[in-house]
Structure 1
Amino acid sequence: MSPILNIAQLGDPILRQPAQPIEDIHDLTIQTLIDNLLITLTQKHGVGLAAPQVSQPYQLLIVASHPNARYPQAPEMEPTALLNPHLVAHSDEVVSGWEGCLSVPGLRGLVPRYRAIEVEYTDRQGHFHRQQFTEFIARIFQHEYDHLEGLVFLDRIENNRHLMTDQEYLKQIV
């Protein structure tokens, strides 16, 4: 079984550095990292995870929406590894929604994001994809993509009054 990886916490310099493109998608190190990200994401009850969050400087993220303790109303989606992803288009409409982050434990913030996006990426088998995401799935992608740019959700919050603890979020919002 793959190991559960340590999550880099806010303040760790890796979270503020742009990630590097993956040159060889088939490299065993990258394939093992994908497996370990998937295991870690499941064990930590997340819906997305980016390589920089586990101290790996690669343009790799996982989108894996499913209802869980942290996001009880999340839609179901097959876990997907996106390598060297790019946001290529987005809707004009921006919506604010509550986000948390495994690298910023205990906090939620009201974050504005595009309602619909179009992305390009390579999957773990080396196949190119161009795909549209909407609503919560689009939000997950944008959140994780920010990690590849050296950003965290706190950088997107428009007002500090739009922060609350996880405990209060689960009590008030869910």
Structure 2
Amino acid sequence: MVLEIIKAGHPVLKQVAEPVDFVNKKMRQLLDDMAETMRVSDGVGLAAPQVNVSKRIIVVDDGTGLQEFINPVIVKGDGEQIGLEGCLSVPGYFGDVKRYQDIEVHYIDRHNKKKKLKAEGFLARIIQHEIDHLDGILFIEKVEALIARVGGTVEKVDRWGKRRLAYAVKKFTDGFYVLVNFEADPAEIKEIDRVLKINDDVLKHLIVKHGK
């Protein structure tokens, strides 16, 4: 069954999820439903809080197959990588986030067996992103720069890029985006919101995070 993915602003996304005491039939069904939801949503990871279930469960698929983690704990992290991330709970927004390059994660599987996994690169990034959800953290609270999809013409985007230091224009294969500089004055961020119609909850994260 495909589940509803809740969006930024929902209180469950800001809660620390509860550990799973025992993986029963209901939890296994949740794992199946989360995997289906992730796939139909074109995601690479999904955490239980994103489907309004405050439990420490994540599913990921980096292209090599589905992996399930219950009560995951990162016990070791090494190196550093910075890469572009998005989130099914914050649709339309992307940003560069700093993560460990290599991690070791301990968890239990759907059969209540203790497991451990060493992951690197993209898989490590996905796991870290999803575990953040279990601690009530959204990627927009960690981004070094937020990228928001912009409607309208290229000329409009270019005009804004030239007029304000708060912006830099970045082109992707499927459209144009505006890179928001977090040093922007709150008044400018509000103007960005007015013009680009940035989601109010995302806007609030930007202002609160930087103490404006």
TM-score, shorter chain, exceeding 0.5? yes
Q: Match of 1:164, as an amino acid?
A: A
Question: Which structure 1 residue ranges, 4+ long, deviate > 2 Å from structure 2?
Answer: 162-173
Distance in 2 between the 1:132 and 1:170 partners? 33
Higher RCO (CA-CA < 8 Å; seq separation 6+): 1
Q: Match of 1:80, as an amino acid?
A: Q
Distance in 2 between the 1:150 and 1:8 partners? 13
In structure 1, the residue matched to 2:149 is: 165
Larger-Rg structure: 2
Change in CA separation of 1:30 and 1:157 when aligned onto 2, cut-off 3 Å: same
Distance in 2 between the 1:5 and 1:46 partners? 13
1:106 maps onto 2:92 in alignment? yes
**Structure 2 stretches lacking a partner, 5+ long:** 152-170, 177-212
Distance in 2 between the 1:55 and 1:85 partners? 18
Q: CA deviation at 1:165?
A: 2.6
**Structure 1 stretches lacking a partner, 5+ long:** 67-76
Describe how 1:75-94 pairs up with structure 2 within 5 A.
77-91=64-78, 93-94=79-80
TM value normalised by structure 2: 0.70
The alignment covers a number of residue pairs equal to: 157
In structure 2, the residue matched to 1:30 is: 27
| CA offsets 1:51-109 (integer angstroms, 9 cap, x no match) | 0000001000001112xxxxxxxxxx220110010000000x22110000000001111
1:60 maps onto 2:57 in alignment? yes
More helix by share: 2
How many percent of aligned residue pairs carry the same amino acid?
36
In structure 1, the residue matched to 2:111 is: 125
Change in CA separation of 1:13 and 1:169 when aligned onto 2, cut-off 3 Å: farther
In structure 1, the residue matched to 2:39 is: 42
